[in-house]
Amino acid sequence: MLIRRAKEIASSEITPKETLRAFQRSRRELLAGLGAVAGAALLPTEAWAFDKLNVTENNKYVVNETVTPQAKAQSYNNFYEFGTSKSDPAANAKKFRTRPWTIRVEGLVKKPQTLDLDAVMKLRPMEQRVYRFRCVEAWSMVIPWDGYSLAELVKTVEPLPSAKYVQFLSLADRQEMQLPGGYDWPYSEGLRMDEAMHPLTLLTFGSYGETLANQQGAPVRVIVPWKYGFKSAKSIVKIRFTDKQPSTTWNDLAPQEYGFYSNVNPYVDHPRWSQAHERRLDSSNSLFPRTIPTQPFNGYGNEVAGLYAGMDLKKYY
């Protein structure tokens, strides 16, 4: 499937109808459903069958904020492969099979290879990091994610000096997923090499001390906490090292709305809404989530601002 460029069609046609409907529904779903789930899951118990992970808490990466209840974090998700409404992934991914699972590493590396997921999970000791997680639609959570720095995996395949970017490709299986129309599947995301190698970038296998829920991007995803959530590719099956900026799903689909870098920047509004504030989904039972100011780099500026020294972050949004 080819995506037409914005210069070829009217801007009103760029964003798929499914996406617009999802954005319109998200606020209604939030008010109608999330206030009731602070103490209990919305889904049947069989949807929550997770394995415990052996993780050590990383005290360096701790957010002094209330952690979002697990039920909320696993019932309000963006995972368009399973549907564009926030409740669709939890409803539609229940039977998604995450074993067996392999990850193909290719491109500009000395050791291209296909890795078994279970071996990747055992490559380094896992730790739990409590990260802020900010979505471009102006809602956010605080989630304890489980994994280890992506850099640890990258080092094992020995990237060539010419490798400047890392591309992530997600599973696209019509037998397992809905894969709504209007998108160029498989989902693709990418990072600059220094972003991928930053210790904050987490190769993630779980949350809350358990394996990832299917709707969270099981069985493996990345978490890049200073960027908007869509930069954190889910259900990864391929990692490709390139010398050129890779194609990414949202940047290709609507480049005037979603830049390649997509660092959290409260001073650069999305064309259709402000990014200056966010709705924090926490333990409150209120139908109206707490609204807080958005922090540059999602509050991780001390750690990552140096990666973008000298860059115009309004141009390279």
Per-residue pLDDT tens for 2-38? 333 334 434 443 444 444 344 444 444 444 344 433 3
What residue type is assigned to position 314 of the chain? K
- In the prediction, which pLDDT does 194 show? 98
* pLDDT tens-place string over residues 108-157: 999 999 999 999 999 999 999 999 999 999 999 999 999 999 999 999 99
DSSP state letter for 213: P
Q: How far apart are CA 231 and CA 42, in angstroms?
A: 27
Which residues make beta-bridge pairs with 146?
128, 206
Task: Pick the closest to residue 296 from 288, 286, 304 (CA basis).
Answer: 304
Residue 75: Cβ-neighbour burial (10 angstroms; 0-12, 13-18, 19+) = buried
- Provide the pLDDT confidence category of residue 294 given band limits of 50, 70 and 90: very high
| Domain segments of the chain as ranges | 8-308
- The answer as to CATH 3.90.420.10 being correct for domain 8-308 is yes
What does the DSSP 8-state code read for residue 271? Answer: T
| DSSP element (H, E) containing 30 | helix 17-33
Q: Determine contact, residues 164/185, Cβ cutoff 8 Å.
A: no
Contacts 24+ apart (CB under 8 A), 121-124: 121/205, 123/148, 123/152, 123/153, 123/156, 124/148, 124/149, 124/152
Could you count the other beta carbons within 10 Å of the beta carbon of residue 59? 9
Q: Can you tell me whether residue 133 is helix, strand or coil? A: strand
For the chain, give the mean pLDDT: 88
Would you place residue 54 in the very low, low, confident or very high pLDDT band (cuts 50, 70, 90)?
very high
Task: Name every residue whose Cβ is closer than 8 Å to that of residue 122 and which is 6 or more positions away in sequence.
Answer: none
